[in-house]
A = this chain, B = another copy of it.
Amino acid sequence: MAAKMLLVVATLIALVASLSHVHAFDPSPLQDFCVADPTSKVRVNGVACKGPAAVVPEDFFFAGVDKPGGTESKRYGFTAKAVPIPGLNTLGASHARVDVPRGAVFPPHIHPRASETAVVLEGSVYFGFVSSYPDNKLFAKVLRKGDVFAVPQGLVHFLYNNGTAPAALYATLSSQNPGLVLLADALFAGALPDDLLAKTLLTDDATIEKIRAKFRPS
């Protein structure tokens, strides 16, 4: 299950990657390192560790943040590359690179278990977060190469490349498994009833059905 978990972590991070996060609230480590063991059958809060004697420098290493890659989101256009470092298990951090072509978005989302920061590696992007109810106040900036922006834990944030060149960012999240909730997917890609969604968006079932059609797996 540690292996599955690792895959999930990787996928999550990959799709999280358009914003770099730093959240700071995982439990503290109780040894120098507890490197995630993909072969362990033990299921606990977090991931079991491989034997200390088997730990190597590569367990703390990843290459490729300088190049695009990873999973492309057909729905939204961004591409995300996870930074799956098994040595980060118990250290309360994860990272990712995300690439956003012109006109693409990393749509509004939250991380259930982390804060985040992002630094722009290339291009420019409109990045921001929304404060909680009842203000729903927007804190946003157009970021350019070398700019950093921070997002508090659990708040809705987004990335929109409305510029003229592709954008790339490096993200930091403050959990080894921050989780990702894409607002639109949570609403339309799952099994929420149409009438609940209509009441949620203050609209009619037809409009909901029209939007939902686009979220059906093709």
Give the interface of A toward B (CB within 8 A).
1, 4-5, 8, 11-12, 15, 22-34, 37, 40, 42-52, 55-58, 60-67, 75-76, 83, 85, 87-88, 90-93, 95, 103-105, 107-113, 115, 117, 119-120, 126, 128-134, 136-141, 144-156, 158, 160, 162, 170, 172, 174-177, 179-193, 195-196, 199-203, 207, 210-211, 214-215
Contact = CB atoms under 8 A, between A and B. Distances in A.
Q: How many copies does the complex hold?
A: 6
B185 A76 contact: no
The 8 closest A-B pairs by CB, nearest first: A24-B92, A112-B154, A66-B146, A22-B93, A202-B214, A136-B190, A27-B27, A107-B200
A173 to B, nearest CB: 9
Given A62-B147, A88-B150, A199-B76, A110 B110 contact: yes
B133 A12 contact: yes
B202 A215 contact: yes
11 contacts: A8-B31, A42-B48, A45-B49, A57-B141, A66-B145, A103-B199, A110-B110, A154-B154, A162-B195, A183-B186, A184-B200
B91 A131 contact: no
Contacts of A154: 110-113, 154, 179, 181
A140 to B, nearest CB: 6
Contact of A24 (B24, B52, B144, B207): B24
A128 to B, nearest CB: 7
A207 B211 contact: yes
A203 B138 CA distance: 22
A92 B174 contact: yes
Contact of A192 (B95, B133, B147, B158): B158
Contact of A30 (B31, B45, B110, B149): B45
B202 A91 contact: no
Contacts of A117: 85, 88, 93, 95, 172
Contact of A12 (B11, B104, B132): B132
A107 B186 CA distance: 12
B185 A91 contact: no
